Amino acid sequence: MAAKLLPRRISGLFWVFGAAVLFCTSVGPSRGALNLVSSVPAHAQQGVSAEAPIVLIFNNPVFPGSVDLNGYPAVLSLQPSFGRGGAVVTFSPQLSADGKTLTLFHSVPFEDNRTYLLTLNVSPSQPCLLQNNSSRTPLTAGSVPHAILFTVGDASAPEIVSHTPADGGMLEPGGAIRVVFSEMVVQGSLVVHSDPEIPFSVELSSGGTVMTAVPSPPVGTEPLTCRIWIEAEDRAGHPLTSSDRPDVRNPWVVTLLPSAPDVDAPRVVHHIPESSQRDVDILAPIVLQFSEPIDIGSVKLPGTTAPAVRVVPNPGGVWSAEVAGDGSVLILKHSVPFVPAFQHTVMVDVGAVKDKAGNGLAEPLSFSFWTGEVTPPCILATDPANGAVGVGSDANLKIVFSEPMRAGSVKAELKRNGQLVLSSADVSFSEDGLTAFVPHPPLIQDGSEYELKILSGADLSGNQLVEGALPGNVLRFRTKDLERPVLLSVEPGNGATVHPTTASMSMAFSEAIGSAQDCVIRLWYLSGASGPRLDASCGEETAPSTWKVRGGFSADRKQVVLRFAVGTDGMSLRPGDTVVAELLAAVDDFGNQLADGAVPRVWSFKVTDTTAPVLLELRPGNGEVVGLSAPVVIRTSKPLSTDHFRFEADGDWSQSATRISGRLWKVARRAISLDGCTVTLRHEPFPEADSGSLEEHSFKIVSATDPLMQNLVAAPGVSFETRFYTARRPRIERVEYQAPAGGGFGQEGFMADPNSFEWRELPGPTVGIVPRDSAFRVVFTEQMAPESVPAPVTTPLVAGWSVEWEPGFRAAVFRHSEPLPFAQLRYARLPSGEVVPAGPVMQMFFSSGSDFKGDSLVPLTVGFTPADTVPPSVAVEYRRKGDASGEQWLPLDKAEDVPVDALFRVTASETLSPAELAIESLDGSDADIAGAAPSVLEWLDADGVVGSQLVIGFSRLLCGGVLFGDPPVERRANYRVSLRVCDASSLRNAAVVVLSFSTEDALPPRLCRIKPAADGDLRRGVILTYSEPVLSESISLCDLDGDSGRLDGLSFTVLDGGREILVGFAPLPPNPPGEDMVFQIRVNPGLSDMRGNRQMDARLANDPNGVRDFIELRFPFLFGDIDGDGCFGITDVLKAFRFFLGAGTATPGQLRAIGASGDRPSASDVRRLLIRLLGRG
């Protein structure tokens, strides 16, 4: 930035002012810059929770007034600006008490498995966060990226997309099992199992989606069928899921085919020295290279019996053999030199050397060479080889000379990266003096370049060392590099903004990157658009958006420049989009993978949008029916300027715009999303349309430009104007329940047959027949959005609701796993005395929901009462009729002395139905209670329950006692009755009570038997037996007229506790001849038992006319007593004989006494009397 120079005096004043400001601010918050020090999620973090808030932590307090997220441009932006379900993300900021932590709560969850870019503005020309100090220091970029990329976790588990071979397939020898996953799996979680167990060589592609597994070592000689299964997890920790498809089944079965048996014999393909070679060193080993690995155990050395290799002439000494490489190179060493300047011949016979399978050499070998003259010593070989890389820390540094060297003559020095490590070091030698070993400190494992220089040396003859196979006698090698490369810088940097014609991007590393190794980068646009693409000279696209770097490396391979491919429009990058770059892999020369460093491996940079803004979408669409509060959403290709964004519309849009005049409005910043590309215009709800009609509304974009003043243009098929419609809010048309059909109600208020029912509308709030397991069918006036309609809420609360929507989403069936509670319908008593239902026991609330337009449901509350299948609990009491003034009600069951004029009272736990009362006698009852004509006298309220009490009266008295036995004996009347009452519910639940009770003694005494006092002789008195003891004071006897005369001396005596009365009288005169004497007496009415029950008591319904106990005493005449003296004797016989003879006339009584049938006795009559007298008949 250019700056003008001020006059010295003025600048001095500014200096003084600046010093004062500096002093003042030094006592307040920190003067340091405001930087972001950490964030959650962190930059490049994977698997972020979709609901987790964003937390930003700063090094200094943030000024609360600068946290402005209301509209665009804001102090931060989010790309893309939408979350789950396409809803626009808005943030609610919350600043901690110390002002250093800013938490951003988002309105909707982020979309799963999507990468987001949160950018904190650090440009002073735009709104940005400010430090809470007097100078309001703006936020500046620090070590923590201010452009934070994070990827929301994937809620889905990885799957196998395909695997070869498929289930049941076969694998050729050397073939690989290839498995493709639906998403990236973590290398450390990938495990390949087999049964039987087989070792595998497993590789995972750089993208983590392709696995190759090669069985190692090869399987034996027979096919092997094995079961293979894979375990793996994605980055979110979700385990691999299985499928039953043959090509993706896990586990699956594969048959591994064996390799063909080895029948090929080995051949010698090369040898050293070569045929006819001259000047061969006399200490040179013989090297034979075969066509395949050999069995070194089959090699018999020269000088042994039947040697595999013969050398003529044999120098003698000790021969040794070793193999190199993959086992196909045989090296024969000899301790005694060859003969100088002489021809030597090497011969190998057929079959003398065998391979691993035992196949002998196919062809004989014979070649000759000439040794040279004796020469000064030189270096033949080294270990490690010259130029070797990856040398270990404790590697032996060996120098092989052409001939034995003199001890102490060889000196060496060792340098690391040009710096001296060993100076003129002594070496040690092998026994034959040909190999020198250079001692050294541990070699640094960082890929350093070492130089081992042999300074001097002499052979046994004193010949000085000359240059041989090792140039300059200097061995150069590099150690193993265990340090991983680090990304040092990228260009464009994270959060940068570039022009669409930017030609390239570059990366710098801490060390050389092996061009032959994988360097893989992923490039994609945050919008999801395809690209960007690299020039073919720089990279090869191995997977969508994934590039393997092929060129562009600097000479030291520490930097790579990637050129972008230029599109047909002349642009290499997509205008207005954001490029996200992720360096997936970078490997140094030693195979070390890229390590995380200060520069993130994931970064992004924005591409300047040089195109005109395009209207991509205007919702609602033309002719669309939407909700009364549905916003108008405008989506553009780039941010627009609020200064020139105007629209026309009817309604009140003050929530998101400012009225200019009439229908013309200007868009407010608060209506624009954080990325500036989505405008959400909200309005006050439109009035509801009339039932069955639609209300039309119009909306038109009048003007709009981007910040570069380019006018908004419409995409093909998109218009600046739309006409949409609103209707009415949805309502619940009816609520139905399941009415039992056929089987009716079962136990506990459930439907007897859950599959037999009919839907019936709840006609009112007092329905009391809803089964406890009934579902509820709700019919709406509009097509509903199912996810917006919650389960109903009931009081009392019922849990376990589920919903099933019918096609068209106009009706839903709500079911509950928890039964409806038992309920008893409540009743109220009207002033007229009528008892009516008072209201429902349960309330069901439908409080929220919306239709497909987004209009909210009109809430509805319905009342109902579940089926009452519980009988009422009942208590039965009694008291004497007419004693309401003070006598208490007593329990009836098991009661004694129940008054015969008693009232019964039934008190229940709920409202009763008087019409359903039934009372009847059961077996074992002495009297039928129905004879007393019971009826309900009163229907009362009790214990706050309306109509829960019945008072029962009887038209006739209950039985006051019963007679049994012979003669009958009175006892109490025992009743055993069943009383049945029903509640007032529509199901009329009945309660049956069995009661036993006995009534009071209400029977007067009854005369049951009359018998002579003794031996059947009435003249000694009679005994009167009554049904119960009588009160002696109530006894009075009366001699009645109209009989044989007065019965003198009439009296009574009480016997047997008053149950019997002995009636006595004076001795009677003899009967007149042939005449019975009859006397009538009566026990006067009013005879009373011991309880005061008096005969002919008008109160006693069981004796309404009284009982007249008439007693007739009949004394028959004595047969044969003719003279009336009261006995039978000879005088009577003689007098009858005279009457027979006609001497005198017999009276009718005398004739009866004789037993004559005529007017005088006959001979036979006399004869009969005589026989009686004589005692013969």
Tell me the three-class secondary structure of 210-243, residue by residue. Answer: EEEEEECCCCCCCCEEEEEEEECEECCCCECCCC
515 or 650: which leads in pLDDT = 650
pLDDT at 1126: 87
Task: State the average pLDDT over residues 30-46.
Answer: 86
Task: State the average pLDDT over residues 310-339.
Answer: 87
Among residues 964, 940, 963, 936, which one has the least CA distance to residue 952? Answer: 936
Q: How many whole angstroms separate alpha carbon 807 and alpha carbon 348?
A: 90
Among residues 509, 438, 502, which one has the least CA distance to residue 475? Answer: 438
Residue 305 burial (C-beta neighbours within 10 Å; 0-12, 13-18, 19+): exposed
Whether 894 shows a pLDDT value over 90: the answer reads yes
pLDDT at 8: 37
**Degrees, nearest 5: CA angle 292-298-304:** 135
- Regarding whether 140 and 209 lie in a shared domain, the answer is no
Q: Check: CB of residue 541 under 8 Å from CB of residue 94.
A: no
- Regarding whether 628 and 569 lie in a shared domain, the answer is no
Q: Which residues contact 1063 (CB under 8 A, 6 or more apart)?
A: 1021, 1022, 1023, 1024, 1037, 1050, 1051, 1052, 1081, 1111
Which residues are bridge partners to 872 per DSSP?
none
- Regarding whether 499 and 567 lie in a shared domain, the answer is yes
Q: How many whole angstroms separate alpha carbon 793 and alpha carbon 31?
A: 58
Inside any domain, residue 385: yes
Whether 952 shows a pLDDT value over 90: the answer reads yes
How confident is the model over 345-361, as pLDDT tens digits? 999 988 889 988 889 99
Q: Check: CB of residue 890 under 8 Å from CB of residue 877.
A: yes
Q: How many whole angstroms separate alpha carbon 952 and alpha carbon 959?
A: 17
Domain end: 327, 349, 371, which one? Answer: 371
Task: State the average pLDDT over residues 359-386.
Answer: 89
Inside any domain, residue 460: yes
Q: How many whole angstroms separate alpha carbon 371 and alpha carbon 273?
A: 10
How confident is the model over 428-443, as pLDDT tens digits? 999 888 899 999 999 9
Inside any domain, residue 7: no
How confident is the model over 832-845, as pLDDT tens digits? 888 888 777 888 99
Q: Check: CB of residue 731 under 8 Å from CB of residue 692.
A: no
- Regarding whether 980 and 1029 lie in a shared domain, the answer is no
Inside any domain, residue 957: yes
- Regarding whether 238 and 214 lie in a shared domain, the answer is yes
- Residue type, position 458, single letter: A
pLDDT-derived band at 988, boundaries 50, 70, 90: confident
Q: Are strands 1077-1083 and 329-334 parallel, antiparallel or unpaired?
A: unpaired
- Regarding whether 232 and 327 lie in a shared domain, the answer is no
Q: Read off the tokens for 757.
A: 């029912």
pLDDT at 216: 64
Among residues 776, 869, 871, 860, which one has the least CA distance to residue 821? Answer: 869
pLDDT at 865: 85
pLDDT at 898: 94
Q: Which residues contact 331 (CB under 8 A, 6 or more apart)?
A: 285, 286, 287, 321, 322, 323, 324
Q: Read off the tokens for 927.
A: 């009297």
Mean pLDDT taken over the chain: 87
Give the distance, in angstroms, between the CA of residue 1155 and the centroid of all CA atoms in the same chain: 118
CA distances from 666 to 266, 591, 654, 659, 697 (A): 91, 61, 10, 6, 18
pLDDT at 17: 38
pLDDT at 218: 56
Q: Check: CB of residue 274 under 8 Å from CB of residue 268.
A: no
Which of 296-305, 667-676, 901-910 has the highest mean predicted lDDT (pLDDT)?
A: 901-910
pLDDT at 303: 76
Domain end: 1066, 1087, 1115, which one? Answer: 1115
Inside any domain, residue 963: yes
- Regarding whether 603 and 491 lie in a shared domain, the answer is yes
- Residue type, position 435, single letter: T
Q: How many whole angstroms separate alpha carbon 498 and alpha carbon 610?
A: 11
719 secondary structure, DSSP code:
-
- Regarding whether 1050 and 975 lie in a shared domain, the answer is no
Among residues 118, 134, 128, 131, which one has the least CA distance to residue 41? Answer: 118
Whether 4 shows a pLDDT value over 70: the answer reads no
How confident is the model over 1042-1068, as pLDDT tens digits? 788 888 888 889 998 889 999 888 888
Whether 1176 shows a pLDDT value over 70: the answer reads no
Which residues are bridge partners to 586 per DSSP?
519
Q: Which residues contact 787 (CB under 8 A, 6 or more apart)?
A: none
User: Which domain CATH number covers 642?
Assistant: 2.60.40.1220
Q: How many whole angstroms separate alpha carbon 896 and alpha carbon 1000?
A: 7
Q: Is the peptide bond before 313 cis (omega within 30 degrees of 0)?
A: yes
The end-to-end CA distance of the chain, in Å, is 175
Q: How many whole angstroms separate alpha carbon 744 and alpha carbon 242?
A: 48
Task: State the average pLDDT over residues 57-79.
Answer: 89
pLDDT-derived band at 174, boundaries 50, 70, 90: confident
Whether 10 shows a pLDDT value over 50: the answer reads no
Q: Read off the tokens for 520.
A: 């893989």
pLDDT at 31: 53
DSSP H or E segment with residue 613 = none
Residue with tokens 């000439």: 370
The boundaries of the domain holding residue 243 are 160-256
Inside any domain, residue 25: no
DSSP H or E segment with residue 331 = strand 329-334
Q: Read off the tokens for 1053.
A: 């005596």
- Residue type, position 665, single letter: W
Q: What share of the chain is helix, strand, coil (3-state, %, to 5)?
A: 10, 40, 50
pLDDT at 1108: 54
Among residues 772, 525, 729, 524, which one has the least CA distance to residue 625? Answer: 729
Q: Is the peptide bond before 165 cis (omega within 30 degrees of 0)?
A: yes
Whether 24 shows a pLDDT value over 60: the answer reads no
3-state secondary structure at position 671: helix
Inside any domain, residue 1: no
Query: How many structural domains does the chain have?
Result: 10
Q: How many whole angstroms separate alpha carbon 830 and alpha carbon 832?
A: 5
Whether 286 shows a pLDDT value over 80: the answer reads yes
| Backbone torsions φ then ψ of 1019, nearest 5 degrees | -65, -15
- Regarding whether 221 and 343 lie in a shared domain, the answer is no
Q: How many whole angstroms separate alpha carbon 283 and alpha carbon 906?
A: 131
Residue with tokens 């005049």: 661
Q: Read off the tokens for 564.
A: 């972008």
pLDDT at 615: 96
The Cβ of residue 1156 has, within 10 Å, a number of other Cβ atoms equal to 22
Q: How many whole angstroms separate alpha carbon 1160 and alpha carbon 1154?
A: 9
- Regarding whether 836 and 756 lie in a shared domain, the answer is yes
Q: What is the dihedral of CA 1154, 1160, 1165, 1166, to 10 degrees?
A: 90
DSSP string computed for 13-36: HHHHHHHHHHHHHHTSS--SPB-E
- Regarding whether 240 and 175 lie in a shared domain, the answer is yes
- Regarding whether 1081 and 984 lie in a shared domain, the answer is no
Whether 1102 shows a pLDDT value over 70: the answer reads no
How confident is the model over 494-519, as pLDDT tens digits? 999 999 999 999 999 998 887 655 79
Q: Check: CB of residue 99 under 8 Å from CB of residue 62.
A: yes
CA distances from 1024 to 73, 515, 858, 996, 1038 (A): 126, 144, 92, 35, 14
Q: How many whole angstroms separate alpha carbon 821 and alpha carbon 840?
A: 13
Which residues are bridge partners to 863 per DSSP?
843
Inside any domain, residue 15: no
DSSP H or E segment with residue 1154 = helix 1148-1154
Task: State the average pLDDT over residues 660-683.
Answer: 92
Task: State the average pLDDT over residues 851-867.
Answer: 90
Q: Read off the tokens for 700.
A: 């038109």
CA distances from 947 to 864, 878, 918 (A): 21, 18, 17
Among residues 1004, 962, 1010, which one has the least CA distance to residue 1099? Answer: 1004
Whether 766 shows a pLDDT value over 70: the answer reads no
Q: How many residues does the chain have?
A: 1177
Exposure on the CB side of residue 1095, measured as CA atoms within 13 A: 21
Task: State the average pLDDT over residues 1082-1101.
Answer: 76
Report the share of the chain in percent with pLDDT over 90.
Answer: 47
pLDDT at 1041: 83
Among residues 1048, 1052, 1047, which one has the least CA distance to residue 1063? Answer: 1052
Q: Which residues contact 359 (CB under 8 A, 6 or more apart)?
A: 262, 263, 264, 265, 266
